[in-house]
């Protein structure tokens, strides 16, 4: 795998743009996501990501260093889970925001579609933040 910082910056940008564009450009008339979905899906998704990251914490194969670096690898997910889910959360938040704004400015028929992805992205960001906070609290104080 390419280890140059530029490669990972460009790959992040491409993945985020393509994934968020895919969400924002989805034909919402095919979606029946409702407000209940936009509430339940993010809660279960955020809790699921947090629980899985917590359970994976002691695994030796996982690289927990530099979790918010934009120059380090974020793939495969099993090796760089925080960096991977951070890219996923940004894609969801960005794509959901654009889809929601488009719906508000246009027909306003399916605002829950964009809201579901926006809230899911935010829930995953909260899960990552909570895990990083827990890890930093656990770190032994150096003397």
Partner 1 sequence: MGLWQFSISGGAGYGGQITFGNNGGQWNFGIHLGIGEGLSATLDTKDSECHSAGFEGNLKAEGQIGFGPNVDATSEVGPGGSSADVSVHVPGTALNLGVTDDNGKLRGVDTTFSFGESAFFGVGGTTYFAK
Please name the residues in contact with 82: beta carbons below 8 A apart, sequence gap of 6 or more. Answer: 53, 64, 67, 128, 131, 132
| Of residues 72 and 142, the one with the C-beta less far from partner 1 | 72
Cα–Cα distance, 121 to 115 (Å, whole number): 10
| Of residues 31 and 69, the one with the C-beta less far from partner 1 | 31
Applying CB under 8 A, the residues found at the interface with partner 1 are: 15, 18-23, 25-27, 30-34, 36-37, 40-41, 44-45, 48-49, 52, 55-56, 59, 76-78, 81, 84-85, 88, 91-92, 95, 113, 116-117, 120
| Of residues 36 and 142, the one with the C-beta less far from partner 1 | 36
121: left (phi over 0), alpha (psi -120 to 50) or beta: alpha
Rounded least distance, CB 66 to partner 1, Å: 20
Rounded least distance, CB 100 to partner 1, Å: 15
Rounded least distance, CB 143 to partner 1, Å: 33
Rounded least distance, CB 79 to partner 1, Å: 11
> Is residue 116 classed exposed, middle or buried when 0-12, 13-18 and 19+ CB atoms within 10 A define those classes?
buried
| Of residues 15 and 126, the one with the C-beta less far from partner 1 | 15
66: left (phi over 0), alpha (psi -120 to 50) or beta: left
């Amino acid at each position: 795998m390419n280890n140059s910082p530029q490669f990972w910056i460009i790959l992040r940008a491409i993945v985020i743009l393509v994934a968020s564009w895919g969400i924002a450009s989805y034909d919402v008339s095919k979606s029946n996501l409702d407000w209940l979905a936009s509430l339940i899906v993010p809660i279960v998704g955020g809790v699921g990501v947090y629980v899985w990251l917590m359970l994976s914490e002691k695994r030796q194969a996982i690289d927990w260093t530099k979790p918010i670096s934009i120059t380090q690898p974020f793939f495969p997910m099993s090796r760089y889970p925080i960096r991977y889910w951070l890219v996923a959360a940004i894609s969801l938040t960005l794509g959901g925001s654009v889809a929601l704004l488009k719906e508000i400015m246009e027909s306003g028929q399916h605002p829950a579609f964009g809201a579901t992805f926006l809230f899911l992205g935010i829930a995953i960001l909260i899960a990552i933040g909570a895990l990083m906070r827990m890890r930093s609290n656990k770190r032994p104080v150096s003397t």
